[in-house]
Structures are given as C-alpha cells and as structure tokens.
Amino acid sequence: MRLALWQGTSPAADIDAACAEAESALAAASALGAAALVLPEIWLPGYNQPDIPARALPLDSPPLRRLAAAARHHSTALVTGYAERDGDRLYNSAACFGPDGALLCNYRKVQLYGPREQALYTTGDRLPIFRIGEETAAILICYDVEFAPHVKSVSDRGATVILCPTANMLPFTHVADHTVPAMAANHGLAIAYANYCGTEGDLTYTGRSTIAGPHGEILARAAETPALLVADIPRRDPARLSTQSADLKVL
C-alpha cells in the first residue's frame, strides 16, 4: 500500500481554502499512486481556532461532502480531521472517505488532550477498524496514538495501518521522533502521522510528520515546513514482527 500525508499550516477557519488545499494535496497524492491521504487534526476549521462550537460541522455538511467528492474524483481515500457537531455535542473527529467517496469510518477521539479539548469535546467511546483496499485500517487522533493499549486493541483485531491526524506542538518533538516508530514496531503496523507546521494562536507546531513502517522503520519524515509525504508500506516480515502483544503477561 502506498500512503500519503499532507503537512500544512492551519487554514485558520477559512473552510474554502482548507478544502482547496486538501483537493490539491489529494490530486498530487493520487498522481503519485497513493491509496490514501491523511490530513492533520481538526483540519476543518483548524485545531486552535477560537469559537470552535460555532465553527463545528455535522458529518453531512457541504465541506465534508466536497471532500468526499474529491476522494471519488481522484479515486483516493481521504482522512480529514474536523470539529464535529452532533446535536448539542462536539467531537474531535476524523472522517475517512473511500476512493468511491463513500464514508468508511467516522472516528471520535478517545484521549482528549489537556483542559481545552476536555472542555470543548465529548469523549469518543469506540476504536473501529475498516478496510482500505487490501489493508485493515484504524484511525487514531494525536494523543490517542501515544497510548499502547489503544494501538494494541486495533492491532489485535487485525489493523495493519493506523491513519493518525495530529496537532502536535512544541516541545513534544519526541512523539514523532520516537513514540510513533516505537508504537509501529511494538505492534507490527504502519502509522501515518500527519501534523501541522507553523504557528496557530499561541501554539507552535513541531511539523515532523512521519510515516513509520511495521518494523519501526522511518519511511518518510517532513521537516518544519509544508510537505507532501508519500511512502510504500513494506510487506510485514514475520521474522521481524514484534510478538509483544501475544507474549504480554498480565499481572
């Protein structure tokens, strides 16, 4: 499977610009043969924007329908983070539209980070898995992927790739550099970790978006500026795959 991710600056609540940038990245990823493209966390309207409750979008909103149509047009799956409104509740969500534009998964973040997220969003309660082509995928969002039990849960149910929108900020450079590759290696799956770069309000993002392979190898890594990463996920080598999940002794 060939995976792509887009590392960009926050669209700063310009929804039309956010969709146009996603369409441009999707066109490039498709031209390069990627099966899926991952965008950062809360790409719509931007992770650290003010008045998120007023800017949150239902899943069937025109911007998300536009991105679903783009996925269909380019025959490439798309994962986008967004602030989801469902009635009176808000969720930190990520939707995956398949290469035919159909909704494959709408995931709601389980591990809300810090007091701001915890005040804004309702906690998700499911870790779904779904198929993209020949791979079994899961979505985890930012802080979720730092928790080994969540990675183990989706791996134990057959996930071979995690698609991870993120908004990782300074000083937490260790997450992309060390945590993501270690989680990939320890659970025998690939992780596409799509971050922002630049600044947004009082946050400076680390950039350093990463695609890690199932043996912990760094397949692609961005620096601190906008970048499209594309990498082929290698076949999992049974001789190199970790057996930690099966070997775990629960005390």
Q: Which residues are catalytic?
A: 41, 109, 142
Q: Which residue has the tokens 């989706």?
A: 154
Amino acid of residue 36: A
Cβ partners under 8 Å of residue 142, min gap 6: 41, 109, 113, 164, 165, 166, 167, 168
Beta sheet of 135-139, edge-to-edge order: 129-132, 135-139, 161-165, 190-194, 210-212, 218-221
d(CA 224, CA 206): 6
142 φ, ψ to 5°?
45, -105
DSSP state of 234: P
